[in-house]
């Protein structure tokens, strides 16, 4: 059955990407270059609608779809719709936040998903939140949603990072379970979208962006699924292990917030110091930046999987995750400084015409 789900999600997303592209151009739903945006030409923003359509259709083709996952489809529709409106009309941040809190309410009271504890994170016993559980859940879900939105600054990046996370979820989930099937559907929609967004010469004439609707939807889906497999009576992995599956976007979000506050700036003011900006400004191309960040996320994900299957204590896993998080900005800065020197060396070694 999961083969049918994969095929239906993939085919529907591809069809929607092709059909919606000319409509978006005609209606002016495009991303224009300028400011912090360095792409060339007006790029249609259809990925969010296409991925949601493919995802929702495949979800409702699942026989006996659990009610909680119907709420997931509804919530994805909410954030995708708000994201599309934001792409078109630049909505106030407060309105976007209200919509994101709304989907947390749907998740908490519709699906019953809530983060009541984060396991034995510090080696001193299980850390529980008691009456603050819903507040902590809201903070985490909203953070992950916005982490994927902020990381969507390079062709293929948000989709590739999300793809790694969903693959990890599918690996740890029981084959045939709802978490597994939803992950397979998400993987199919992302692969279909990347056919139009991955930085390749062959797809340039058909390139498209996912927009805020797509990136926020991916963030919500990852937050929803990781919470579902790491909390409650049927938890499959510990919350600390789940952290590793989407490390790069989360690191990027919190690094940006801390850096801005240390500089005396508002943490919500946009700048060009996200990880992808650091690498590109250091001289790397789009594909190099995409490759490095995706490779890092894959490495971190593998660490999480190894920790899970090897039974490494949460305290050790969390300490490693936190140390990497604190050092991530320095790692990106170091990587960005490596390319110009290597490029210069290669150019000097080549014979001059």
pLDDT at 237 over 90: yes
Q: What is the mean pLDDT of residues 74-86?
A: 94
For residue 325, the model assigns a pLDDT of: 95
Q: How far apart are CA 115 and CA 128, in angstroms?
A: 9
Q: How far apart are CA 159 and CA 210, in angstroms?
A: 9
Residue 41 and residue 25 in contact, taking contact as beta carbons nearer than 8 Å: no
For residue 50, the model assigns a pLDDT of: 97
7-65: per-residue pLDDT in tens?
999 999 999 999 999 999 999 899 876 444 444 568 999 999 999 999 999 988 877 76
pLDDT at 353 over 70: no
Q: How confident is the model at residue 265 (pLDDT cuts 50, 70, 90)?
A: confident
113-165: per-residue pLDDT in tens?
999 999 999 999 999 999 999 999 999 999 999 999 999 999 999 999 999 99
In a domain, 347, yes or no: no
Q: How far apart are CA 25 and CA 46, in angstroms?
A: 10
In a domain, 345, yes or no: no
For residue 40, the model assigns a pLDDT of: 56
For residue 345, the model assigns a pLDDT of: 36
Q: How far apart are CA 231 and CA 226, in angstroms?
A: 8
Q: How confident is the model at residue 67 (pLDDT cuts 50, 70, 90)?
A: low
In a domain, 349, yes or no: no
Q: How confident is the model at residue 112 (pLDDT cuts 50, 70, 90)?
A: confident
Q: Which residues, at least 6 apart from 30, have a Cβ–Cβ distance to it below 8 Å?
A: 24, 42, 43, 44, 45
Instruction: For CA atoms 64, 103, 45, 192, give the dihedral sign.
Output: negative
Instruction: Please choose, from the candidates 299, 326, 307, 322, the residue with its C-alpha nearest in 3D space to the C-alpha of residue 122.
Output: 322
How many domains does the structure of the chain reveal? Answer: 1
The three state secondary structure string of 233-260 is CCCCCCHHHHHHCCHHHHHHHHHHHHHH
Range of the domain at 42: 2-339
Residue 33 burial by Cβ neighbours in a 10 Å radius (0-12, 13-18, 19+): exposed
Q: How far apart are CA 33 and CA 41, in angstroms?
A: 7
In a domain, 208, yes or no: yes
In a domain, 351, yes or no: no
Q: How far apart are CA 158 and CA 328, in angstroms?
A: 18
In a domain, 273, yes or no: yes
Q: How far apart are CA 159 and CA 197, in angstroms?
A: 9
pLDDT at 287 over 90: yes
Q: How confident is the model at residue 339 (pLDDT cuts 50, 70, 90)?
A: low
Q: How confident is the model at residue 92 (pLDDT cuts 50, 70, 90)?
A: very high
Residue 5 and residue 184 in contact, taking contact as beta carbons nearer than 8 Å: yes
User: What are the Cα distances from residue 46, in Å, to 58, 84, 95, 353?
Assistant: 18, 9, 22, 45
Q: What is the mean pLDDT of residues 217-245?
A: 93
304-331: per-residue pLDDT in tens?
999 999 999 999 999 999 999 999 999 9
Most confident of 67-71, 222-226, 256-260, 332-336: 222-226
Q: How far apart are CA 226 and CA 141, in angstroms?
A: 10
For residue 170, the model assigns a pLDDT of: 95
Average pLDDT, the chain: 89
183-205: per-residue pLDDT in tens?
999 999 999 999 999 999 899 88
In a domain, 189, yes or no: yes
In a domain, 350, yes or no: no
For residue 264, the model assigns a pLDDT of: 84
Judged by average pLDDT, the poorest of 215-219, 232-236, 339-343 is 339-343
């Amino acid at each position: 059955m999961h083969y049918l789900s994969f095929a239906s999600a993939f085919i529907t997303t591809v069809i929607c990407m092709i059909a919606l592209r000319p409509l978006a151009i005609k209606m002016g739903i495009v991303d224009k270059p300028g400011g912090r945006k360095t792409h060339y030409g007006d790029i249609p923003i259809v990925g969010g609608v296409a991925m949601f359509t493919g995802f929702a259709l495949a979800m409702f083709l699942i026989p006996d779809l659990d009610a909680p996952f119907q709420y997931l489809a509804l919530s994805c529709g909410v954030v995708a719709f708000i994201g599309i409106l934001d792409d078109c009309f630049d909505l106030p941040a407060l309105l976007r936040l209200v919509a994101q809190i709304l989907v947390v309410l749907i998740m908490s009271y519709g699906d019953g998903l809530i983060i009541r504890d984060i396991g034995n994170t510090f080696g001193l016993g299980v850390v529980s939140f008691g009456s603050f559980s819903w507040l902590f859940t809201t903070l985490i879900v909203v953070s992950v949603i916005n982490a994927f939105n902020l990381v969507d600054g390079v062709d293929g990046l948000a989709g590739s990072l999300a793809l790694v996370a969903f693959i990890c979820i599918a690996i740890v989930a029981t084959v045939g379970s709802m978490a597994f099937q939803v992950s397979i559907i998400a993987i199919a929609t992302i692969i279909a979208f990347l056919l139009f967004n991955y930085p390749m010469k062959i797809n340039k004439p058909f390139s498209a962006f996912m927009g805020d609707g797509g990136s926020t939807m991916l963030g919500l889906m990852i937050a929803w699924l990781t919470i579902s497999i790491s909390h409650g009576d049927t938890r499959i992995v510990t919350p600390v292990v789940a952290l590793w599956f989407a490390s790069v976007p989360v690191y990027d979000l919190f690094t940006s917030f801390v850096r801005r506050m240390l500089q005396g700036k508002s943490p919500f003011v946009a700048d060009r110091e996200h990880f992808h900006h650091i690498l590109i400004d250091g001289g790397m191309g789009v594909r190099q930046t995409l490759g490095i960040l995706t490779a890092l996320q894959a490495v971190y994900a593998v660490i999480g999987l190894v920790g899970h299957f090897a039974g490494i204590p949460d305290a050790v896993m969390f300490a490693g995750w936190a140390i990497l998080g604190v050092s991530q900005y320095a790692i990106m800065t170091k990587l960005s400084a490596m390319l110009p020197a290597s490029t210069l060396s290669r150019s000097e070694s080549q014979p001059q015409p």
